[in-house]
């Protein structure tokens, strides 16, 4: 089926992306916290196969950078020492998926550090930091989306099923949350939660804050489905056998909401990752030393960094393939379930 | 002999107009009284909007009447607390008009037929499955179809499943709300034969609701005619067809009969 | 007319709800703000005592809320601990800057989205339409933060635009024309960022609405009457599509406000955004509440404006209103 093909394509793409981030320990050459104060703010290094003499080497290599004569910020390659790259090499310790201890890395070098995406103020490898930072940001987004979907589903089910004043009240509140600008809401919520807490607590607070802000749209959509399904004869029939409310909700109504929930999840996850990035970038999210894409970008707030060290911007681009994947998935799901018709012609909608 | 089901002066009001401020109510049932004797078929005939479906829902205890009484096997069921109703429900089952809507399209035939048993928590899983297969046999659905999802079956097959499901709890009374109205003539004929056969083998009582007098005449011992929330006439089928008294009855007859002799021909079916 | 009353009532409800929500959030703070204040040597103990009495912090929450509501109604939004001054004038200056940015960006975005969307819908499926679709798709995938930062870096490296602030040093001495130019240059980057962020969705929706209308029966009838193409689009199609588009306008305001907060911080534009952020980091309670409230007021006012526009533009609203 053509539609199924679209869905699979995006799904596989996303799974691959997530695997790369989840396996950050393997794909990253170094431990993200490993500093090298001798080499702050090095630009990305180039990988060569042909050396300065014009010879071709089978094994790729790089030249370490050194400061140009008479300059404090210009670097040049030290073509005297060629440092070869090894693949599937042993490097720093890490725990794959947090459980399996390993020392295997996709690539590495002996003798000098390779900075594929440059280094930061403390000489930490940006590539490694981006990969590990992705774990934090993605996890925050996924967990936040989980909280929101749970909250939205419960509220939507309750409002739709029981109706009456409960429905009116809940939907009014939902309308309020929907009408207000999300970033302001998020700020307002985050502002009043404790600010100077440890990384783990900060992470959880961020997840909770994000999750609490976004429940309104899923709740409204779920409620819509419940209202329709509630009146269906098969629900009436089940009641005729003596089914309890919980049974009806669980076995008949909830499964019907699956399509709406899935589509919403695909739309919300990237937005929540972005929310975490925004919060951390502004100093309201995950603090150092835990790295997230957001706080990796925080250095850009210094003018000097902005002017001279353009590679510090790269963590921002890391989210783009995820946005692409999730939006593509959402669009495929929408087509499949025909959930909302903003217009069939408009293709994607980020609502 | 006491009737299986007896209702007296059943009234059902629905709120009409905008919910905010408007107190107008609409009387779907305006004092309905009816008796159904055991192991008979009573047909309830009326136009759309006459209140037939509302009556069906009230009898099946899916709607609560505003006032009136109902006795089942002599027991007053006006009390109607959910816990007590739970014991009553297996006895009265409902078959809906549109099986596409009354059967969850994602469920398989077996799951659908065994659902009542699951809800009432009878038997264990294997026993339920066995009973479900037996029920499928009864309604002439081959066992192979058991694993098919409802949306993969034809209209006639779906309605058979619905009937099988209604039989699962071994009810005494089955209310069929326009159950044959959505089917092709030949399919409807097959299913009405099935219904008759089930009635004689299982000793069922039917309340058959329809707007089609021909159907009613074909299946029922008694006909009750409903108009605007009331039963305006009722009596043995033959008498109603031969000598209708109320205007509503006559206009319904006139609408369905094509030839003047048709009703009596049908009675002998 | 009843429609307008209903929408106004709705707007008031939103405002109350927003204020209540913000106030409720503030109740989450563990410990009293004034405890932290007491540790600050810059603030005199008398001020603290006076503020405590004024804000009735010892009373239960509903009382505090009503008290605060009453104060707001009199135009007193509280006191800023960081700036050591009342909140309202502080907010007002920043709010003007934010308004300048958001209004300009909105106008520009719609000025671009309407023709692009209409053109795209008129040439539905053709090469220009497809190019536009791909471009908007590409832009959609790049979130605001990434866009804003990217633009900033570009500006810094090329030096074409000033990269912060609203005006240059020595602004006062410039002639009016030079002042305008200076302001425009400073505004260019943030406005560009906001427009780029908002444009894709707007274009898509305009395109979808207009395309739907163009296919409608009444339009085909009009075309068969020989009405010229341009008149068809602008006289008929656009007016018919006005309803969903105006609703879209109201809806997009919320997103625009959120976007402007971020852009202001990134590009150091002295609006509500940076003020709010500072206030949060400094635990300046009343500035935060006031700032959030002010942004909600803008939002609600914008939505109400959209409702009025809709009332004026769509005769169906006027007639159905009486049957409500």
At A42-73, the pLDDT tens digits run 888 888 777 767 777 777 787 788 777 777 77
pLDDT at A218: 92
Q: Reply yes or no on whether the pLDDT at C283 is more than 70.
A: yes
> What does the radius of gyration of chain C's CA atoms come to, in whole angstroms?
24
Say if residues B65 and B12 touch (Cβ distance below 8 Å). Answer: yes
pLDDT at B17: 63
Partners of A281 on chain C (C-beta within 8 Å) are 145
C-alpha span between B139 and B194 (Å, rounded): 7
Partners of B96 on chain A (C-beta within 8 Å) are 233, 236-237
Closest by CA position to A311, among listed A297, A332, A301, A325: A297
Partners of A234 on chain B (C-beta within 8 Å) are 101-104
Say if residues A276 and A209 touch (Cβ distance below 8 Å). Answer: no
Q: Kindly indicate the confidence band of residue A340, based on its pLDDT and cuts at 50, 70 and 90.
A: very low
pLDDT at A103: 82
Q: β-strand A100-109 against A83-96: which pairing, if any? A: antiparallel
Q: How far is CA A190 from CA A203, B147, B213, C222, in A?
A: 12, 52, 69, 55
Whether the CB of A96 is below 8 Å from some CB of chain B: the reply is no
Chain mean position to CA A244: 40
pLDDT at A159: 92
C-alpha span between A120 and A142 (Å, rounded): 28
Buried b or exposed e, range C34-46, using 16+ CB within 10 angstroms = beebeeeeebeee
| Three-state helix/strand/coil letters over chain B | CCCCEEEEEEEEEEECCCCCCCCCEEEEEEEEEEEECCCCEEEEEECCCCCHHHHHHHHCCCCCCCEEEEEECCEECCCCCHHHHHHHHHHEEEECCCHHHHCCCCCEHHHHHHHHHHHCCCCCHHHHHHHHHHHHHHCCCCHHHHHCEHHHCCHHHHHHHHHHHHHCCCCCEEEEECCCCCCCHHHHHHHHHHHHHHHHHHCCEEEEEECCHHHHHHHCCEEEEEECCEEEEEEEHHHHHHCCCCHHHHHHHHHHCCCCCHHHHHHCC
pLDDT at C309: 82
C155 HSE (CA, 13 A, CB side): 21
Residue partners of B43: CB distance under 8 A and separation at least 6: B208, B209, B210, B215, B216, B217, B219, B220, B222, B223, B224, B237
SS3 A101: strand
Distance from CA of B254 to the nearest CA of A (A): 32
Residue ranges in chain B whose pLDDT is less than 50 = 259, 262, 264-265, 268-269
C-alpha span between A97 and A91 (Å, rounded): 17
Q: Reply yes or no on whether the pLDDT at C80 is more than 60.
A: yes
Summarize the confidence of residues C117-129 as an average pLDDT: 80
Does A182 contact C262 at a Cβ distance shorter than 8 Å? no
Residues C198-251 have pLDDT tens digits of 899 899 888 888 888 777 767 677 777 777 776 666 666 777 777 788 888 877
C-alpha span between B10 and B33 (Å, rounded): 7
Q: How far is CA B209 from CA A238, B63, B96, B199, C55, in A?
A: 20, 17, 10, 16, 69
Say if residues A334 and A340 touch (Cβ distance below 8 Å). Answer: yes
Does B94 contact A232 at a Cβ distance shorter than 8 Å? no
pLDDT at C33: 57
Partners of A239 on chain B (C-beta within 8 Å) are 62
Tokens of A18: 């997530």
Residue pointed to by tokens 């010879």: A55
Summarize the confidence of residues A87-116 as an average pLDDT: 80
pLDDT at B20: 56
Whether the CB of A236 is below 8 Å from some CB of chain B: the reply is yes
Does C152 contact A317 at a Cβ distance shorter than 8 Å? no
C-alpha span between C247 and C253 (Å, rounded): 10
C-alpha span between B153 and B145 (Å, rounded): 9
Q: Which of A110-114, A182-186, C81-85, C276-280 has the lowest mean pLDDT?
A: C81-85
Contact map slice: B 188-247 vs A, CB within 8 A: none
Partners of C133 on chain A (C-beta within 8 Å) are 347
Q: Kindly indicate the confidence band of residue C305, based on its pLDDT and cuts at 50, 70 and 90.
A: confident
Please state which CATH number belongs to domain B5-103+173-266: 3.40.50.300
Of all helices (H) and strands (E), which one includes residue A84?
strand A83-96
Domain-wise residue ranges, chain B: 5-103+173-266
- Rounded to the nearest 5 degrees, what angle is found at the Cα of C104, between the Cα atoms of A270 and A185? 40
Residue of higher predicted confidence among C276 and A111? C276
Distance from CA of A171 to the nearest CA of B (A): 17
Q: β-strand B205-210 against B173-177: which pairing, if any? A: parallel
pLDDT at A345: 31
- Please state at what angle helix C144-158 crosses helix C242-266, rounded to 10 degrees: 60
Which of B61, B115, B169 is opposite residue A238, by nearest beta carbon?
B115
Which of A239, A240, A255 is opposite residue B106, by nearest beta carbon?
A255
C-alpha span between A316 and A314 (Å, rounded): 5
- Long-range CB pairs of B78-87, under 8 A, 24+ apart, other chains included: B85/A242, B85/B61, B86/A242
Domains of chain A, start order: 45-114 (no CATH), 130-344 (1.10.3720.10)
Whether the CB of B30 is below 8 Å from some CB of chain A: the reply is no
Q: Reply yes or no on whether the pLDDT at A138 is more than 90.
A: yes
pLDDT at A1: 42
pLDDT at A223: 93
Highest mean pLDDT among A315-324, B149-158, C1-10: A315-324
Q: β-strand B222-227 against B230-236: which pairing, if any? A: antiparallel
Q: Kindly indicate the confidence band of residue A343, based on its pLDDT and cuts at 50, 70 and 90.
A: very low
Q: What share of chain C is helix, strand, coil (3-state, %, to 5)?
A: 80, 0, 20
Residue partners of B4: CB distance under 8 A and separation at least 6: B36, B37, B38, B72, B73, B172, B173, B205
Tokens of A300: 């850009």
- Which of A172, A280, A282 should one mutate to test binding to chain C, selecting the residue with the greatest count of C CBs within 10 A? A282
- Which of A229, A240, A337 should one mutate to test binding to chain B, selecting the residue with the greatest count of B CBs within 10 A? A240
Say if residues A17 and A325 touch (Cβ distance below 8 Å). Answer: yes
Say if residues A151 and A215 touch (Cβ distance below 8 Å). Answer: yes
Distance from CA of B37 to the nearest CA of A (A): 22
Q: Which of A323-332, B183-192, C38-47 has the lowest mean pLDDT?
A: C38-47
User: How long a stretch of residues is chain B?
Assistant: 269
Say if residues A61 and A108 touch (Cβ distance below 8 Å). Answer: no
Q: Within chain A, what is the greatest distance between any pair of CA atoms?
A: 89
Q: Reply yes or no on whether the pLDDT at A344 is more than 50.
A: no
Q: How far is CA C307 from CA A173, B239, C38, C302, in A?
A: 21, 65, 47, 9
Residue pointed to by tokens 């006909």: B223
SS3 A230: helix
Q: Kindly indicate the confidence band of residue C37, based on its pLDDT and cuts at 50, 70 and 90.
A: low
Partners of A174 on chain C (C-beta within 8 Å) are none
Say if residues B128 and B95 touch (Cβ distance below 8 Å). Answer: no
Summarize the confidence of residues C30-41 as an average pLDDT: 61
Q: Which residues pair with A94 in a beta bridge?
A: A102
Does C261 contact A187 at a Cβ distance shorter than 8 Å? yes
Does C17 contact A189 at a Cβ distance shorter than 8 Å? no
Does C18 contact A306 at a Cβ distance shorter than 8 Å? no
pLDDT at A187: 82
pTM of the model: 0.82
Q: Kindly indicate the confidence band of residue A349, based on its pLDDT and cuts at 50, 70 and 90.
A: very low
Does A184 contact C257 at a Cβ distance shorter than 8 Å? yes
């Amino acid at each position: 089926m053509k539609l199924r093909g679209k869905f699979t394509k995006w799904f596989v793409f996303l799974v691959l992306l997530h695997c790369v981030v989840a396996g950050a320990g393997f794909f990253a050459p170094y431990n993200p916290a490993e500093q090298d104060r001798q080499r702050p703010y090095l630009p990305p290094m180039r990988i060569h196969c042909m050396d300065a003499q014009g010879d071709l080497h089978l094994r790729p290599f790089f030249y370490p950078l050194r400061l140009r004569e008479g300059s404090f910020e210009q670097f040049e390659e030290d073509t005297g020492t060629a440092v070869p790259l090894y693949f599937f090499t042993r490097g720093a310790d890490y725990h794959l998926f947090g459980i399996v201890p390993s020392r295997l890395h996709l690539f590495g070098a002996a003798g000098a550090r390779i900075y594929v995406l440059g280094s930061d103020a403390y000489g930490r490898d940006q590539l490694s930091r981006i990969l590990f930072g992705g774990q934090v940001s993605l996890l925050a987004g996924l967990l936040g989306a989980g909280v929101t979907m749970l909250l939205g589903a419960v509220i939507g089910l309750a409002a739709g099923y029981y109706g009456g004043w409960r429905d009116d009240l809940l939907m009014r509140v939902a309308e309020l949350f929907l009408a207000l600008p999300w970033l302001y809401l998020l700020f307002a919520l985050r502002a009043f939660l404790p600010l100077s807490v440890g990384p783990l607590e900060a992470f959880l607070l961020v997840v909770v804050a994000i999750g609490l802000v976004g429940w309104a749209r899923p709740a409204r959509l779920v409620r819509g489905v419940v209202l329709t399904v509630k009146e269906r004869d098969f629900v009436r029939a089940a009641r005729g056998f003596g089914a309890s409310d919980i049974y009806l909700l669980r076995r008949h109504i909830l499964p019907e909401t699956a399509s709406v929930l899935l589509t919403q999840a695909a739309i919300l996850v990237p937005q929540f990752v972005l929310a975490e990035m925004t919060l951390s970038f502004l100093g309201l999210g995950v603090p150092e030393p835990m790295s997230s894409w957001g706080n990796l970008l925080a250095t850009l707030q210094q003018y000097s960094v902005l002017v001279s060290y353009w590679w510090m911007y790269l963590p921002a681009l890391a989210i783009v393939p995820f946005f692409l994947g999730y939006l593509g998935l959402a669009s495929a799901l929408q087509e499949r379930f025909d959930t909302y018709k903003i217009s069939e012609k408009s293709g994607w909608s980020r609502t | 002999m006491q009737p299986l089901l007896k209702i007296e002066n059943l009234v059902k009001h629905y709120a009409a107009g905008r919910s905010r401020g408007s107190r107008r109510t609409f009387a779907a049932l305006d004092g309905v009284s009816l008796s159904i004797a055991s192991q008979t078929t009573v047909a309830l005939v009326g136009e759309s909007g006459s209140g037939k479906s509302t009556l069906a829902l009230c009898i099946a205890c899916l709607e609560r009447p505003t006032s009136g009484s109902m006795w089942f096997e002599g027991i007053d069921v006006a009390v109607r607390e959910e816990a007590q109703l739970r014991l009553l429900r297996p006895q009265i089952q409902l078959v809906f008009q549109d099986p596409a809507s009354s059967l969850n399209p994602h469920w398989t035939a077996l799951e659908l037929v065994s659902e009542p048993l699951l809800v009432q928590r009878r038997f264990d899983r294997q026993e339920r499955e066995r009973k479900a297969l037996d029920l499928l046999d009864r309604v002439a659905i081959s066992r192979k179809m058991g694993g098919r999802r409802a949306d993969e079956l034809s209209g006639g097959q779906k309605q058979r499943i619905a009937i099988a499901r209604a039989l699962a709890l071994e009810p005494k009374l089955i209310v069929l709300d326009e159950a044959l109205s959505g089917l092709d003539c030949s399919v409807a004929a097959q299913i009405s034969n099935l219904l008759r056969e089930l009635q004689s083998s299982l000793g069922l009582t039917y309340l058959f609701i329809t707007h089609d007098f021909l159907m009613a005449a074909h299946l029922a011992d008694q006909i009750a005619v409903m108009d605007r929330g009331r039963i305006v006439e009722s009596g043995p089928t033959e008498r109603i067809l031969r000598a209708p008294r109320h205007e509503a009855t006559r206009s319904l007859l006139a609408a369905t009969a094509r030839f003047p002799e048709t009703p009596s021909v049908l009675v002998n079916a | 007319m009843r429609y307008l009353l209903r929408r106004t009532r709705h707007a008031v409800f939103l405002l109350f709800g927003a204020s209540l929500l913000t106030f409720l959030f503030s109740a989450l703070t563990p410990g009293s703000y004034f405890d932290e204040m007491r540790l600050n040597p810059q603030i005199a103990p008398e001020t603290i005592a006076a503020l405590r009495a004024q804000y009735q912090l010892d009373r239960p929450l509903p009382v505090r809320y009503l008290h605060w509501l009453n104060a707001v109604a009199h135009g007193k939004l509280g006191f800023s601990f960081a700036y050591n001054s009342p909140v309202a004038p502080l907010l007002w200056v920043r709010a003007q800057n934010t308004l300048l940015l958001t209004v300009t960006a909105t106008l520009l975005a719609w000025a671009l989205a309407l023709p692009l969307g209409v053109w795209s819908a008129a040439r539905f499926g053709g090469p220009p339409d497809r190019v536009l679709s791909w471009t908007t798709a590409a832009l959609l995938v790049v979130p605001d933060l990434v866009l804003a930062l990217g633009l900033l870096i570009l500006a810094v490296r090329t030096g074409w635009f000033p990269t912060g602030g609203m005006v240059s040093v020595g602004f006062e001495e410039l002639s009016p024309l030079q002042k305008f130019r200076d302001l425009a240059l400073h505004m260019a980057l943030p406005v560009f960022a906001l427009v780029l962020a908002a444009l894709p969705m707007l274009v898509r929706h305009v395109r979808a609405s207009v395309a739907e209308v163009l296919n409608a029966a009444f339009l085909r009838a009009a075309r068969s009457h020989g009405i010229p193409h341009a008149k068809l689009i602008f006289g008929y199609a656009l007016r018919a599509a006005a309803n969903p588009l105006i609703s879209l306008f109201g809806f997009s305001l919320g997103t625009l406000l959120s976007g402007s907060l971020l852009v202001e911080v990134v590009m150091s534009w002295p609006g509500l955004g940076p003020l709010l952020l500072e206030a949060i980091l400094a635990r300046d309670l009343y500035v935060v509440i006031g700032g959030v409230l002010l942004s909600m007021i803008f939002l609600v006012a914008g939505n109400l404006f959209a409702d009025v526009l809709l009332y004026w533009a769509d005769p169906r609203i006027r007639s159905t209103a009486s049957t409500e």
